[in-house]
Amino acid sequence: MSNKERSNYIHSVDAGLIRFNRRTKNVEILIIKREKAPYEGQWALPGIVINGDIPDTSIEMALSRLLHSSKVGLEPKYMEQVETVGNGTRDPRCWSSSTFYLALIDDTYVIEGEKKFVNLNDVAGDKFPLAFDHNLLVRKIRDRLLSKSLYSSLPLLTLPDLFTTTDAIEVFSSVLDRPVIKTSMRQRLLKMAESGYVTETQEKVKPAMGRPQSLYQNLKRTEIYLFDRCFEQ
Amino acid sequence: MSNKERSNYIHSVDAGLIRFNRRTKNVEILIIKREKAPYEGQWALPGIVINGDIPDTSIEMALSRLLHSSKVGLEPKYMEQVETVGNGTRDPRCWSSSTFYLALIDDTYVIEGEKKFVNLNDVAGDKFPLAFDHNLLVRKIRDRLLSKSLYSSLPLLTLPDLFTTTDAIEVFSSVLDRPVIKTSMRQRLLKMAESGYVTETQEKVKPAMGRPQSLYQNLKRTEIYLFDRCFEQ
DNA sequence: TAAATAGTGTCTATTAGACAATATGTA
DNA sequence: TACATATTGTCTAATAGACACTATTTA
């Protein structure tokens, strides 16, 4: 397919790569600086054109190609398609659709080049403008993360394999934007341990002050555990 | 865009229109007989090409065009995008994507022409083969309906505005494919009434035998109520 | 009165939330 | 010892599930 023919209709895949910064306690999303027009030099979600100049066998393979490209270069622990938006106005070139994903990674990755992690809520709340309608996409990605975090273990996939109860409490509190009760979190980890999703290791972490923390290990890295009940809204 | 150019890539929108047949207690999906190649004369989900020979301003408008066309001609009470699948093999003509929706309607509609409602689980379980990969799409639509029915009022939108507790129990039991306890359902309807989603009317329905049934009325027709807890799996 | 179906009351189990009590570390 | 933090235990509230009991209709 030549560029001329393709210019009639573009279908892209965009990735919302979310991490939890344990130092700042912020939930962050990866954005990259666009190298080409339109919106050259502006920040945007990483994305590629599906089956454009480079052929793809499927949308999933296009997503994989994006994640392995220099635009991203990270290995997510979890991926989930959120939605497809398509209309005649979102891209100045032509009618276009975007199939976009929620992807979770831990905060041990070091990124290089013209990309950075920024606060998720800032982007979702339009405080940080992105190219195209990407602020809208980020809002939908944030909403999906939030609603699923009420009744599943999803946020734990932003933590490294080994994590403490405090890590879990902090990431849930940040994602849900409200305090999470310690005993509730411990009960949930207990249920997950019974079902083989996590295991309590014998190792301990010694903080600067206070009693050592138990270390949990995530076992089923790509599956999420569904709880019977929601955290309160 | 000419047919020749479009033949390089097709993006269609397909609709999974679900109803609950109160007479047979079956959850059913609408399928239509294809009038054109490929798969001419075979059964398939109703669908149209987005922005093909007929221009569309957005995917949602394309869905609206599909629902108002002679292929469907029904007014759903609820619509939700499920997913987009796209690859080079699902359509014999070319690389193609389908953005498909879950839509709910009540069983008061009378349909005409080359279309019919068939048992949802039969189609999802490949007992009833459809054109393209539509059995897979139906499976994904069924799974979405099932998982959302565990913690929301979604199945009630397949009932007419006025319905009885027994209607509610029957549709939940059919969708979840397991008995639903009467008191649990009544409690949930009570919660929905407190939140203004339904109201208990003063009217009664008199069955052939037995005590008259109270009639509930659905108030917020397009919103779904989210319960704090799931029905057990 | 008998049968059928609707609706109510009560008990148990589960789990989120709140908070007190205890344990284990550092300075 | 004083302080900080982790962990455990106990109580309450909400709600699904189970089941018995009562209410209202027709035949």
Which tens digits make up the pLDDT trace of A166-183? 999 999 999 999 999 999
Bases along strand C below 7 A from a protein CB: 3-10, 14-20, 23-27
pLDDT for B7 equals: 52
Assess whether A194 (CB) lies less than 7 A from strand C.
Answer: no
Ramachandran angles phi, psi of A32, nearest 5°: -130, 155
Q: Binning pLDDT at 50, 70 and 90, where does residue B208 land?
A: confident
Closest CA to B17 of B65, B77, B59, B69: B77
For A46-114, the DSSP string reads: -EEETTSSS--SBHHHHHHHHHHSTT-----SEEEEEEEEEESSSSSSSEEEEEEEEEE--TT----SS
More confident residue, A133 or B37: A133
Q: A92-121: per-residue pLDDT in tens? A: 999 999 999 999 999 999 998 899 999 999
Mean pLDDT of chain A: 93
Interface contact B58-A230, CB threshold 8 A: no
Q: Binning pLDDT at 50, 70 and 90, where does residue A233 land?
A: low
Mean pLDDT of chain B: 93
The pLDDT of A193-217, averaged and rounded, is 90
pLDDT above 90 as % of chain B: 86
Bases along strand D below 7 A from a protein CB: 3-10, 14-20, 23-27
Protein CA at A229 to nucleotide C1' at D14, angstroms? 11
- ∠ at Cα B170 (B169, B175), nearest 5°? 100
Interface contact A99-B84, CB threshold 8 A: yes
- Measured between beta carbons, which residues in chain B are less than 8 angstroms from residue A64? none
The pLDDT of B209-218, averaged and rounded, is 92
Q: B32-64: per-residue pLDDT in tens? A: 999 998 999 999 999 999 998 999 999 999 999
Q: B81-139: per-residue pLDDT in tens? A: 999 999 999 999 999 999 999 999 999 999 988 999 999 999 999 999 999 999 999 99
- Measured between beta carbons, which residues in chain A are less than 8 angstroms from residue B83? 81
Secondary structure of residue B69 in the 3-state scheme: coil
pLDDT for B165 equals: 95
